[in-house]
């Protein structure tokens, strides 16, 4: 059995952290400077997010970039 | 003073892990399926590497993807 795709894992981690803050995708978008539709795609595992945007999301949520990865 | 760009930090981490294994960029390229020139660009902080390729490099070096990030 193959390990779950890293895009799915990262999406779940971001969603979990965002929901832990009680934020909507729109609020995370506002705080990070990224579009809420893009964030939706990342959370659903549809986007191969790169480190510069991971850094923006991590900063917005007050965590380290490594906390968004498996 | 601004924190060092995440691309620089990630590049340094990858180079450090690779050198710790005693591997050339070409060897890491062979093990990960990525081109040695691409790996060179990542290590120099010139590339905004995304999670699918981070996963390939991490697997090749026997670490977790989070170990490549600050």
For A37-46, what is each residue's pLDDT tens digit?
Answer: 999 999 999 9
Portion 11-70 of B in contact with A at CB < 8 A: 48-52, 54-55, 64-70
Query: Cα–chain-centroid distance for residue B68?
Result: 7
Residue of chain B whose alpha carbon sits nearest to that of A56:
B6
Are A49 and A15 contacting, i.e. CB atoms less than 8 angstroms apart?
no
Residue with the two structure tokens 């506002």 = A30
Long-range contacts for B21-27 (Cβ within 8 Å, ≥24 apart)? B21/B61
**Which residues of B fall within a CB distance of 8 Å from A52?**
6-7, 48
For A19-56, what is each residue's pLDDT tens digit?
Answer: 999 999 999 999 999 999 999 999 999 999 999 999 99
The three state secondary structure string of A22-38 is CCCHHHHHHHHCCCHHH
The complex's ipTM? 0.94
| pTM, full prediction | 0.95
The full set of domains in chain A, from first to last, is 6-62 (1.10.260.40)
């Amino acid at each position: 059995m193959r390990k779950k795709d890293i895009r799915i894992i990262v999406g779940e981690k971001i969603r979990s952290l965002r929901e832990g803050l009680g934020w909507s995708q729109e609020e995370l978008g506002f705080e990070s400077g990224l579009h809420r539709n893009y964030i939706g795609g990342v959370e659903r595992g549809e986007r191969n997010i790169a480190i510069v945007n991971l850094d923006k999301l991590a900063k917005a949520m007050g965590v380290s970039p490594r906390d968004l990865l498996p």
